[in-house]
Structure 1
Amino acid sequence: MTYQFANCSIDPDKHALHRDGLPVHVEPQVFELLLVLVERQGRLVTKDELIKTVWRGLNVSDATISARMNAARKAVGDSGRDQAIIKTVHGRGFQLIVEVRNSSEMVAAAPNRATAHSIHFTQSSDSAKIAYSQSGDGPPLIRAAHWLSHLELDLHSPVWRPLIEGLESNNTLYRYDQRGTGLSTRDLEGADIDAFANDLKAVADANNLDRFPIFAASQAVPVAIRFAQQYPRRVTGLILYGGYAKGRALRGASHEDIDEGTILGLIRTGWGKADSPFINAFSSLFVPDATASQMASFVRMQIETISPENAARLRQIIDRFDVTDILHSVSAPTLVIHAISDAVQPIEQGRILASEIPNAQYVSLESRNHVPLPQEKSWSQMMYVIGTFLEGLSL
């Protein structure tokens, strides 16, 4: 039986460990240690249990156990500092803190997902080609396109895959690549907020969706608000994560905000260079608490989904979105979620959205990541409020 967890899989029969689809060589004791943690599926494993199962009752020192645990963390892309996958419970033992799925569960789910995520194209109002996909089962939910998505790469990303799986767990999820990035047209000529709203409409029309909620993150938030203002009868609800009402270039100087010049400088200096300290610095603004594998995936996503020129151009476009004057006209039920210490979009922008959109519900998360990460304590809170909000829309 094969187990899948985070971006890893472990097969006890073949004595094989894979991370991001690639084989990882580990010593036999490290493999056994990982297997014990995986088989416990989140339950605490004491040092005595490890000694009994991994070392067959031999008397070993704490230093030996710590060394093997460090090797196990390294093998799965974790570290003692991050503890995003393997957590040390001081004085008690160790715990795997990510979801574990076994092969039987994955096979059982396969019939519903056999044709999931197949990619199609539709044409927007200005003839731009927009790539989209459909997955999951249940009421429709559109995930509005945001900065640097890629319909194929997202499915293998330890950053984006957990979010996709969460959103499609009880809904038919429609997601698409933003123009300028991913599999959609790379042409950004004449792109503005209305063009991006028209792309959302094109995806909804292509799938014959008359009424639906929208999940929007970051710069997709003003796009979703613009769409909801233009087509109020089509939008049954808005989930707005880490968004803003007025773009960075229009907000003026603030001690909580990163100025546009800094962002553009990092892009122009290091984009497309995987080992560049500039692209790593840029990525750290978005996901400061990412694990090594998450950060590597995030950097790869940037490099493979958009050119340096388009990356800078897209930032300039979205940093000039402004929906301040239409917030009061949004009639759809709205959930606003914002990380308290978000360095990309300051929390003040979330408060503006929640206070100006009529009857909006506001939830703040104890986090400093602009992109939600599944190992954070706030992740469960976020997914719970999203699920509860969507359930309420269907009542």
Structure 2
Amino acid sequence: MAYEFGNCLIDPDKHLFEYDGFPVHLEPQVFDLLLLLVDQKGRLVTKDDLVQTVWQGLNVSDATISARINAARKAVGDTGRVQAIIKTVHGRGFQLNVEVKAVAASAQTPDLSRSDTQNIKFTRSSRGARIAFSKSGNGPPLVRVAHWLSHLELDWQSPVWRPLIETLDCKNTLYRYDQRGTGLSSRDLEGAEIDAFADDLKAVADANKLDCFPIFAASQAVPVAIRFAQRFPQRVSGLVLYGGYVKGRALREAAQGDIDEETVLGLIRAGWGKADSPFVNAFSTLFMPDATPAQLASFVKMQTETISPENAARLRQIIDRFDVSELLASIRTPTLVIHAISDAMQPVEQGRILASEIQGARYVSLESRNHVPLPQEETWTTMMHEVQFFLDSLQP
């Protein structure tokens, strides 16, 4: 049995929470807190009730309780001032401010079977490169452009990438692939440059008979998506560009906080895939400083099974020399640009250039320091809502 309240759904059996139909990752204590409020159906829940149920009677501070309440409010769309869902009864406790309705299993939405399986196949790209691609979900097509580190099978189980996959294929048929040099695709990087990576995208679209489709691209996949849209404008209905750049770090003037190429290459060569090396901490600081231990561990596994240390360094040198600055003015595709304000890998200025140079592009900034979007971040829900709202706007 699941329960609907406001724009939310909570399912204790599946440990699932959704807002506006999208899965939202919640820490266990936040999930239990919300479930207690739902169980009480508007009746008062005191701080003592919270301590007994959520913390099993352990001694916790008021600050800890307040932090979990704030996280729960963020999840349901409330703020400290706007208390449409979770109301504070000063001096007494908290209560749910909306009706709770039980939902039978057959009526629960969305259908989670959309992400239970993925269908992996192979196609050929330019220079004979073998490209692995997968399909999951149901709905209008959406192609996620491959990026530096990807592995279709490992991503499917990753605590970093699986939440993104599930959110994107919640209302869409999602096509993903491993670019040449990585994952299940050919590991040969001979002749790899931006047009070759755009060819990989075209090969996947052709193999799935996609004539016109929106694209989700992150980081170095952004220049590839722009190059593809410039070469084949009739095939792209929309662009979602997250954490991208116009010029690679080897070509652009260093902005404040920008990391130079030799630093990144040095970290790769020093400890690629070694869980006990200083590289892991440095990698975390650059890519996802707020990652959990489980998320970091999945990245280490991804490194060892996705690409060799030599090819990882070589691929970084290739993508750090992408330059699409001369192409932006020619892009007429509806575009959404999203960028974390404190992104250390790709400075926010690169996102602002993208949004200002692509005609009619919409720009959304996130109060985040993570280059890799993490489901436990407060900005996660904002980002996912912006993405789906944009994708919905493309439908006739």
Range moving further from structure 2, 277-286 or 192-201: 277-286
Task: Give SS of 1:313's match.
Answer: helix
SS at match of 1:215: strand
2-side partners of 1:173 and 1:148: how far apart?
18
Instruction: Look up the match of 1:3.
Output: 14
* CA deviation profile, 1:186-237 (whole Å, cap 9, x unmatched): 1111100000000000000000000000000000000000000000000000
| Aligned partners of 1:179 and 1:188 also within 8 Å | yes
Match of 1:214 in 2: 215
Letter in 2 for 1:4: H
Contact 2:239–2:334 (CA<8 Å) still a contact in 1?
A: yes
Gaps of 5+ in 1: 7-30, 71-79, 95-101
CA 1:41–1:284 in structure 2 vs 1: closer, same or farther (change >3 Å)?
A: farther
The 8 Å contact of residues 139 and 171 in structure 2, kept in 1 or not, is answered as: yes
Partner of residue 118, structure 1: 119
How far does residue 36 in structure 1 lie from its aligned partner after superposition? 4.8
Residue type matched to 2:266 in 1? G
C-alpha distance in 1 between matches for 2:193 and 2:279 = 27
Q: CA deviation at 1:48?
A: 1.9
CA distance in 1, matches of 2:114, 2:203: 25
Following the alignment from structure 1 to structure 2, what is the Cα–Cα distance between the partners of residues 360 and 368? Answer: 23
Asked whether the 8 Å contact 1:2–1:103 carries over to 2, the reply is: no
Shift of 1:297: 1.8
* Structure 2 residue 103 is matched with structure 1 residue 109: no
1:269–1:172 distance in 2 versus 1, CA, 3 Å: same
Deviation string for 1:50-93 (max 9, x for gaps)?
A: 4655899xxx6xxx3349xx9xxxxxxxxx99x98999x99988
Give the SS at the match of 1:134: strand
CA drift of 1:47 comes to 3.7
The code of the aligned residue for 2:277 comes to S
Counterpart of 2:345 in structure 1: which amino acid?
A: V
Q: Is the Cα–Cα contact under 8 Å of residues 141 and 173 in structure 2 kept in the other structure?
A: yes
Deviates more, 1:182-191 or 1:232-241: 182-191
- Structure 2 residue identity aligned to 1:109: D
Partner SS, residue 128 of structure 2: coil
Q: Distance in 2 between matches of 1:133 and 1:386?
A: 21
In structure 2, how many angstroms separate the alpha carbons of the residues matched to 1:373 and 1:39?
23
Cα RMSD of the aligned pairs, angstroms, is 3.5
Residues 35 and 278 of structure 1, relative CA distance in 2, 3 Å threshold: closer
Displacement after TM superposition at 1:142 (Å):
0.2
Judge which range, 291-300 or 33-42, deviates more.
Answer: 33-42
Q: Please say if residues 158 and 293 of structure 1, whose CA atoms lie closer than 8 Å, have aligned partners that are also in contact.
A: yes
SS in 2 for 1:335: strand
Helix, strand or coil at the partner of 1:249: coil
CA-CA distance at 1:110 after TM superposition: 5.7
| Identical aligned residues as a percent | 66
Query: Aligned pair in 2 of structure 1 residues 303, 206: CA closer, same or farther (>3 Å)?
Result: same
Residue 178 of structure 1, CA deviation? 1.7
The 5-angstrom pairing of residues 59-70 of structure 1 reads 64-66=58-60
For 1:330 and 1:54, locate their aligned partners in 2 and report how far apart those are by CA, in whole Å: 51
Matches within 5 A, 1:228-243: 228-243=229-244
2:333 matched residue in structure 1 = 332
2:342 match = 341
Q: Any conservation in 1 of the 2:247–2:322 contact (CA below 8 Å)?
A: yes
- Taking structure 1 as the reference length, the TM-score comes to 0.78
SS at match of 2:224: helix
